[in-house]
Amino acid sequence: MTEECKFIVDFLDCEYEIFENETNDERLIKKFNEWSSLGAKEGFYPVIVVPSDILTEGLELDLEDAGLENSREEIKKRREEIINEAESINVKEFLDERFAEYSEMHEDMDIIGEFLEVEPYHRFYSHMDKAAPHEEILMVKIPVKNPWEIAAWIPMGGFNDCPEPAAQTAVFRHWYEKYGAVPAVVTYDVWEMKVGNPPKTEEDAENLAKEQFAFCYDIVMQAARGWDRIRALASTLKNSSAWYFWWD
């Protein structure tokens, strides 16, 4: 086990399985689906974690910034702090403010764009490296009743435009309650979500795309040419059971 993998296993302190040098994700996704069904009965959610030194450093820094030590008791305390802080966040105000800020940055262009013809997405992507297999991938059983609390268990964020863990937790709760979205994959700069009730109409998809643009600016403005518009993102969200967020 690599040092990065061992750090995350110790940090989370929950049941896990390691996948090594996987060249495709068939076995991993099969296990994820099995654990998803089992978790509904036993009270946990499976999450695919891609270990890295950047992720472990981020987890350490989150504790340090909160004035806490890397111990089981202090990690638990930090999770509770994040969840409590999330309760006080007005998600609509948070997303509206970010949407207004990003819109003003691009007031000289049409950031809305047009809808595109695209098939719905149903797969995760960031756990598989096309150039070379990850040395290790973790699948962990996060023992929470509320899936949005996964963002408090794995507090990735707070850099550049990536929201702080408490804001992620609050937004994930909003999306779970409205769309049945559950955090499923995490790296040092990516969240992917499994979605039970995606938008079915262009109008609903556009409203969601505006929220996702506010939450994760890069998935629009750093998309390929022709896809760097809100309605292009909306086109990928309609009827899709997987969502992807990435921060540069």
Mean pLDDT of all residues in 144-168:
96
> In degrees rounded to 5, what are phi and psi of residue 139?
-120, 125
pLDDT score at 130: 67
- CA dihedral sign, ordered 66, 71, 77, 79: positive
SS3 state of residue 120: coil
Block residue for tokens 């989150």 = 62
The CA-atom distances, in angstroms, between 246 and each of 12, 62, 72, 133, 201 are 22, 19, 29, 20, 25
- Please say if the pLDDT value at position 196 is more than 90: yes
pLDDT tens across 52-69, in order? 999 999 999 999 999 999
pLDDT value, residue 9: 97
Out of 104-108, 120-124, 132-136, 198-202, least confident range: 132-136
What is the per-residue pLDDT across 91-129, written as a single tens digit (0 to 9) for each?
A: 999 999 999 999 999 998 899 999 999 999 999 999 887
What does pLDDT average to over the chain? 95
User: How is residue 62 written in tokens?
Assistant: 């989150």
d(C-alpha 98, C-alpha 215), whole Å: 7
Question: Of the candidates 40, 71, 39, which has an alpha carbon nearest to the alpha carbon of residue 141?
Answer: 39
The CA distance from 125 to 48, in Å, is 11
Tokens standing for residue 133: 């297999």
